[in-house]
Structure 1
Amino acid sequence: MRPGEATRAGLGRTALAPIVLGVAVILLWQAAVTVFDIKPFILPGPFQIGAQFGDNLQTVAAGMLVTGRNALIGLVIGAILGVIAAILSALIRLFDELAAPIVAALAVVPIVALAPVLYTMFGANAETARQIVAGLAVFVPVYFNTFKGLRQVRPVHRDLMQAYAASRWQSTRTVTLPTAKPYVFTGLRIASSLAVISALVAEYFGGPVGGLGRSITSAASSSNYGLAWAYVLGSILLGLLFYCAALGLEKLVSRRPGS
């Protein structure tokens, strides 16, 4: 077998295992619902959820678009601010000492308490509150992972840059940031899913009509549990889309020359 064929075969086996596991779980789930006569308000069967997902595909897609847009805005803004704050913390000790307790406090802010306050501040008809919630959820893991990566530079590399009389910014740009890149993308992959979850949860507590969170609440309140789970399925797909996009970006950047 040629090396290329061996690689493709290995990738095929790697992709086949989770597919087989997923199909087995779905079949066992459906069998359990049927055999034990589990009521839909407790747990609907996957076939019912799939049917509702297909019948309401346009509505689910519209909700995914609203939630995805808010999550994307929060992801981009939160990631940029997280990287910048981590760089400043690594360069300036005083900034690090000031930022550490603030970031620690942001890490434990409950969305259920923050979202209603932000809706009051920015208005119930604006998407701003949802985007801010998503941005805060993204900021924390990106900041901590980037900051950890910036501290991973070997002393010999720092000594070499000092020997070349490089400025702090030159050392950061040529040595520190490339070393921290894997940590940045680790934080970004974690944050990509958190952005979707946070934007979705924020939709439960008010704001404009639209988005998967409000759709789940509306379907559940009208006892349409299959449809509610169809929106949950849409949320899962959206989270996977964000995660795969972050992973794809990491692979793309890593393959660039000089990366």
Structure 2
Amino acid sequence: MKALAGTRTVLAPVALGVLALALWQALVVAFEIKPFLVPSPLGIGGAFVDTADHILDAAVQTGLNALIGLGIGAVTGILVAILANALRVLDRMLVPLVASLAVIPIVALAPIFYAMFGAAANTGRQLVAAVAVFVPMYLNTLQGLRQVEPVHRDLMRSYAATAEQVNRMLLLPGAVPYVLNGLKIGSSLAVISALIAEYFGGPANGLGIAITSSAAGSNYTVAWAYVLGAVLLGTLFYGVTAALEGWSRRRRRT
């Protein structure tokens, strides 16, 4: 029964996606919609195959920036959450800062980071992704650290456990599901942020700049092919982190 339920979970969105693509193709053909408005799925697929090497190179660069940003944002978010959980004064001080980071638009951060670290480096793109990842990682980790039952804290205190031991043996293991959930959310944000940051300068590589260049050169179908590459990259990041979360959940049950 579990296998059947899992198959249905996979097949349902796949069937919906195929139906949506078929409808898209039919509408483009029926109404003779021009590629500069909306290219057909078959046209996008053909352009994707023809430019697969270029899309892969651009995806690797964008993916590397997103991965570095994901790592920086995740580690920073976890460490700051641990400190905020231990020091309530710091927690209250961080509330307005985290709220501000959550609403800062990427379009404002990217040019600032390019001016700080140089437009010839990918540092600005990586930091944009790190800022986007930090917020969900911090909030999820902090929530996880505060889910521990008071009786468990009292038990650790009765054994004269140090703060480091409480964190390592009680708080962090209990927060793992929340950390992985934050990582899953942050993985998609990292790709989106790194991609958008490429629109505002920096080295002439990555999917974002490729989409912009193709559209500027009226190669709209090719631009959509790069968009497809970005979708696949984001799906890869999300899929890996979701699989990691599922693996951790199964291990806790055994």
Common fold, TM-score beyond 0.5? yes
Q: Which residue of 2 aligns with 1:200?
A: 195
Distance 2:124 2:113 in 1: 5
Partner amino acid for 2:189? L
**58-67 or 16-25, larger mean C-alpha shift:** 16-25
Q: Report the Cα offset of residue 94 of structure 1.
A: 2.0
For 2:213, which of 218, 234, 237 is the aligned residue?
Answer: 218
1:101 Cα deviation after fit: 1.8
2:174 aligned with 1:179: yes
Matched, 1:78 2:65: no
**2:162 corresponds to 1:167:** yes
Superposed counterparts of 1:124-143, under 5 Å:
124-143=119-138
Q: Kindly state the Cα deviation for residue 55 of structure 1 after the two structures are TM-superposed.
A: 0.6
**1:33-84 alpha-carbon deviations (Å, 9 max, x no partner):** 1112222122111111101001100010011001000000000111000000
Shift of 1:156: 1.5
Residue number among 54, 72, 87 corresponding to 2:82 in the alignment: 87
Residue 98 of structure 2 is aligned to residue 103 of structure 1: yes
Residue in 1 that maps onto 2:52: 57
Structure 1 runs of 4+ with >6 Å offset: none
Matched with 1:150 is 145
More displaced stretch, 67-76 vs 91-100: 91-100
Pairwise CA RMSD of aligned residues?
1.5
Question: Secondary structure of 1:43's partner?
Answer: coil
CA-CA distance at 1:111 after TM superposition: 1.0
What percentage of aligned pairs have identical amino acids? 56
The range that moved more, 7-16 or 147-156, is: 7-16
The partner residue of 2:226 within 222, 231, 256 is: 231
Deviation at 1:256, TM superposition (A): 4.6
Q: Which amino acid aligns with 2:113?
A: L
Measured at CA, do residues 242 and 113 of structure 1 come closer, stay the same or move farther in structure 2, by a change above 3 Å? Answer: same
Cα deviation, residue 97, structure 1:
2.1
Q: SS at the partner of 2:200?
A: coil
SS of residue matched to 1:14:
helix
Whole-angstrom distance in 1 between the partners of 2:218 and 2:52: 19
- What does the per-residue CA deviation read over 1:196-221, in whole Å, with 9 as the maximum and x for residues that have no partner? 00000000000000000000000011
User: Equivalent residue of 1:218, what SS?
Assistant: helix
SS at match of 1:48: helix
User: Which amino acid is the alignment partner of residue 159 of structure 2?
Assistant: Y
Partner residue, 1:3: none
Structure 1 unpaired stretches of 5+? 1-5
TM-score normalised by the chain length of structure 2: 0.95
1:137, CA displacement in angstroms? 0.5
TM-score (norm 1): 0.93
**C-alpha spacing 1:196/1:163, structure 2 compared with 1 (3 Å):** same
